[in-house]
């Protein structure tokens, strides 16, 4: 058994590794205080939104014929998730993002989470215990297209026979992610969200734009065309997983229908995480954590 | 801090004095817990902003209040980061931008120690961080509102919990 001095010495040594090697800047801090603007309110330049950017690609998959009547905007509801092995960072645009709150906000009860999110969350019966709940969002974002950058990206992707239309220059595409309910259980997390909405100007040549975007992402002409057709029939949220990521993907069957199973692996080949993504009529659910695929399916099937 | 018998000018000067005396320490306490120096400084400013807006009095209590507020701000941030990491793949684009200072990689040991702090009870983590920042038993008791006579026992328990969690996850 370890003596108290030994324990003292051991913990002191561990915690000593956290001693900062930098000096706080008092002048900068005073300026911040004097401006009376807490940093939590400072506008932030957000990182490129890979998943969101990819979703914005799909806004363009709407057939142009949807732009009818007197509407200035088309609004599309994405009722599922499609996982594709591409790197959305290849898309030549950045996003302007507005987030309701930058971190998830704790909800003490399911009712409180429902009130904050605007829909009633569902929970797995398999766990037999209440989760810790939090709500994230809503989030709105927009992107302004730049025809020259699109063409450059096409050329870089080796699709120089495809042209980006000049009239796309300055076109604004928008997305809204409504609040996401996050339920944390020991070793796993369940997220659920209502369909994302995507907005684009009426009359925008979406199908053509979609193919362009997927060519930029590295898909061949046939694949890009197929993705566009698939989306036109069943619009979904697109989740890009770069090829270099050590992830195995396969479709599995749940009681409620098909689901996508992702298994992340560490560099040493060990399993890091299992993720299951599926959609029912009014929401998409994402279950992620340290569990076997069978366990993930059992948990998903117990969601009520 | 502003009270009817405490003029605004005096209060502002007093606040300046407090800021000068404590800012560096507060920022460094948070910097022990939060890897990103820029974020630690932001949180330190938030702590002083709260102090300015609160009715916390001056004198000896301010140092204790600041210690407590600093360690709690740091641990709250650490836990938020731990939560966010779980679903980074899906909503990672919501994460804050990385500042140049944050781009250098924390050592593996730092990551381990911080991950254990995020798991401990708030009181245990607060005691360990503040103790490692050099607070005496008396100062710890003041900062955390505990009986000075019980600090030794509570600190030993906190160390024990830290050791057990660390060993369970990472071995010796």
Q: Does B114 touch chain A (CB under 8 A)?
A: yes
Average pLDDT for B41-64: 79
> Chain A contacts of B93, Cβ < 8 Å?
46-53, 97
Tokens of A120: 């009633």
The shortest C-alpha distance from A213 to chain B (Å) reads: 20
B-chain residues near A102 (CB < 8 A): 94, 96
| pLDDT tens profile B86-135 | 555 454 443 333 333 433 445 778 888 998 998 899 999 999 999 999 99
Å from A280 to nearest chain B CA?
18
A131-177 pLDDT, tens digit each: 989 888 787 778 888 899 899 889 988 887 888 899 989 888 887 87
Longest dimension (CA), chain A: 80
Residues of chain A contacting B79 with CB distance shorter than 8 Å? none
ipTM strictly over 0.95? no
| Sign, CA torsion B154/B156/B157/B159 | positive
Lowest-pLDDT choice from A56-60, A111-115, A200-204, A214-218? A56-60
Optimal mutation site among A9, A18, A52, interface B, most CBs of chain B within 10 A: A18
Residue B93 is predicted with a pLDDT of: 40
The beta-carbon neighbor of B159 closest among A11, A46, A139 is A11
> Of A60, A59, A57, A64, which is closest to residue A93 (Cα–Cα)?
A57
Report yes or no: B25 and A9 within 8 Å, Cβ to Cβ: no
B86 CB near a chain A CB, below 8 Å? Answer: yes
Q: Give how far A78 is from chain B: nearest CA, Å.
A: 16
Nearest alpha carbon to residue A23 among B48, B99, B63, B40: B40
What span, in angstroms and rounded, lies between the C-alpha atoms of A107 and A55?
28
Q: Which of B19, B27, B97 sits opposite A46 (nearest CB)?
A: B97
Q: Is the pTM of this model over 0.90?
A: no
Q: Which residues contact A21 (CB under 8 A, 6 or more apart)?
A: none
User: What is the chain B residue with the closest CA to A17?
Assistant: B110
The whole-angstrom separation of Cα B137 and Cα B149 is: 9
Q: How far apart are CA B71 and CA B26, in angstroms?
A: 8
State the nearest Cα–Cα gap between B44 and chain A, in angstroms.
8
A10, A24, A52: which to substitute to probe chain B, counting the most B Cβ within 10 Å?
A: A24
B45-48 contacts at long range (C-beta below 8 A, 24 or more positions apart):
B45/A29, B45/A32, B45/A33, B45/A38, B45/A39, B46/A38, B46/A39, B46/A40, B46/B73, B47/B73, B48/A29, B48/A33, B48/B19, B48/B23
In a 13 Å sphere around the CA of B26, the CA atoms on its Cβ side amount to 32
Q: Do B128 and A15 touch (CB under 8 A)?
A: yes
Whether the predicted pLDDT of B77 surpasses 60: yes
B171 or A157: which leads in pLDDT:
A157
For B6, the 3-state DSSP assignment is strand
pLDDT for residue A28 is more than 90: no
Whether A44 and B23 lie within 8 Å, measured CB to CB: no
Q: How far is CA A111 from CA A45, A101, A116, in A?
A: 34, 20, 9
pLDDT of residue A222: 86
pLDDT of B148 reads: 92
Do the beta carbons of residue A183 and residue A123 sit within 8 Å? yes
Mean pLDDT of A109-117: 93
Q: pLDDT grade, residue A53 (50/70/90)?
A: very low
Q: Return the SS3 of B56.
A: coil
DSSP chain A: ---HHHHHHHHHHHHHTT--SS---HHHHHHHHHTT--GGGS---PPP-HHHHHHHHHHTTS-GGG--TT-SEEEEEE-SEEEES--GGGSS---EEEES-SS-EEESSHHHHHHHHTS----BSTT-SPPEEEEE--EEEEEE--HHHHHHHHHHTT-TTS---GGGTT-EEEEEE--EEEEEETTEEEEEEPPEEEEEETT--HHHHHHHHHHHTT--HHHHHHHHHHHHHS--EEEE--TTS-EEEEEEEETTEEEEEEEEE-TTS-EEEEEEEEEETTEEEEEEES--HHHHHHHHHTB-
pLDDT of the residue at A176: 81
Q: Is B3 helix (H, G, I), strand (E, B) or coil?
A: strand
**B34 in A contact zone (CB under 8 Å):** no
**How many beta-carbon pairs below 8 A join chains A and B?**
142
Position with higher pLDDT, A216 vs A47: A216
Return the higher-pLDDT residue of A44 and A99.
Answer: A99
Q: Are A222 and A171 in contact (CB under 8 A)?
A: no
Residue B116 exposed, middle or buried by CB count within 10 Å (0-12, 13-18, 19+): buried
Structure confidence at residue A76 (pLDDT): 57
């Amino acid at each position: 058994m370890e003596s108290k001095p030994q324990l003292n010495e051991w913990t002191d040594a561990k915690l000593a590794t956290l001693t900062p090697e930098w000096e706080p800047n008092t002048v900068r801090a005073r300026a911040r205080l004097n401006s009376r603007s807490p940093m939590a309110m400072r506008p932030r330049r957000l990182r490129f939104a890979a998943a969101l950017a990819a979703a914005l690609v799909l806004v363009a998959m709407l057939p142009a014929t949807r732009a009818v009547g007197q509407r200035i905007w088309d609004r599309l509801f994405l009722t599922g998730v499609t996982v594709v092995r591409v790197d959305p960072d290849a898309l030549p645009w950045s996003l302007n993002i507005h987030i309701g709150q930058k971190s998830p906000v704790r909800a003490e009860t399911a009712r409180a989470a429902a009130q904050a999110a605007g829909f009633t969350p569902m929970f797995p019966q398999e766990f037999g215990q209440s989760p810790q709940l939090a709500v994230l969002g809503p989030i709105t974002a927009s992107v302004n297209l730049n025809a020259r950058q699109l063409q450059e990206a096409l050329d870089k992707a080796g699709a120089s026979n495809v042209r980006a239309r000049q009239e796309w220059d300055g076109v604004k595409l928008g997305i809204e992610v409504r609040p996401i309910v996050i339920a944390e259980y020991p070793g796993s997390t369940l997220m659920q969200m209502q369909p994302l909405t995507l907005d684009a100007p009426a009359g925008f040549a979406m199908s053509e734009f979609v193919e362009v975007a997927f060519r930029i992402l590295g898909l061949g002409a046939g694949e890009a065309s197929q993705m566009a057709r698939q989306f036109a029939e069943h619009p979904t949220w697109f989740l890009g997983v770069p090829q270099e990521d050590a992830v195995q993907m396969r479709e599995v069957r749940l009681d409620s229908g098909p689901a996508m199973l992702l298994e992340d692996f560490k560099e040493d080949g060990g399993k890091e995480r299992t993720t299951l993504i599926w959609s029912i009529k009014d929401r998409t659910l994402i279950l992620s954590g340290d569990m076997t695929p069978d366990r993930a399916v059992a948990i998903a099937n117990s969601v009520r | 801090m502003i009270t009817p018998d405490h003029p605004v000018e005096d209060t502002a000067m007093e606040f300046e004095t407090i800021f000068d005396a404590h800012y560096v320490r507060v920022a460094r306490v948070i910097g022990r817990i939060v890897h990103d120096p820029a974020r630690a400084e932001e949180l330190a400013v938030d702590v002083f902003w709260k102090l300015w807006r609160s009715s916390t009095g001056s004198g000896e209590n301010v140092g204790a209040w600041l210690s407590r507020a600093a360690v709690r701000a740091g641990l709250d941030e650490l836990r938020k980061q731990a939560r966010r990491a779980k679903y980074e793949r899906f909503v990672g684009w919501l994460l804050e931008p990385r500042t140049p200072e944050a781009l250098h990689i924390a050592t593996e040991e730092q990551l381990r120690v911080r991950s254990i702090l995020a798991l401990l009870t708030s009181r245990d983590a607060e005691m360990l961080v503040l103790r490692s920042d050099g607070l005496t038993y008396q100062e710890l008791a003041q900062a955390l509102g505990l009986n000075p006579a019980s600090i030794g026992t509570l600190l030993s328990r906190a160390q024990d919990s830290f050791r057990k969690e660390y060993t369970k996850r990472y071995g010796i």
